[in-house]
Amino acid sequence: MSHDVFAQAIVHANSWVGAVADELDADEDRGYRALRATLHVLRDRLTVEGAAHLSAQFPLVIRGTFYEGWDPSAVPQKMHTDEFLDRVRSEANLQSADEAHHAVRAVMSVMWEHLTPGALAHVTAQLPADLQALIS
């Protein structure tokens, strides 16, 4: 890969972070924390196959963030909405479940904008109804 490919990958990742930050009406640090936390918790709820299918559509740097610290032998981790939001709240260093809910909705809005509906439908089909409602 040439330097230009990496430079473009960083630009693309920054556009995702910026879009999440805009959705949250927050700075890019908070946008990144929300994106990273939501991706990690979602990844841990999915099967290995589901995580691979979803991440294949991510920009290069976002894909790296998605897989950072992943233990594929420990998935899928069963959780419902309250547990999902609590993990996002904790990992993103947010103050409340409401903030976590807003963060997840912001990240999902960006994902729905950038990914194919088929990829997201494949992911949501793996989740219980309460989590489907959260990320749809």
Instruction: Encode pLDDT of 79-105 as tens digits.
Output: 999 999 999 999 999 999 999 999 999
Number of domains in the chain: 1
- Show Cβ contacts of residue 103 under 8 Å, excluding neighbours closer than 6 positions: 24, 34, 37, 38, 88, 92, 94
**Taking the CA atoms of the chain, what radius of gyration do you get in angstroms?**
14
Residue 86: give its domain's CATH number: 1.10.490.110
Domain that holds residue 7: 3-135
Residue spans of the chain under pLDDT 70: 1-3
Query: In angstroms, what CA-CA distances link 91 with 37, 49, 126?
Result: 5, 24, 23
Structure tokens at 29: 């640090």
Question: Tokens 């979803």 belong to which residue?
Answer: 54
Which pTM was predicted? 0.94
> What pLDDT score was predicted for residue 1?
52
Indicate the SS3 state at residue 110: helix
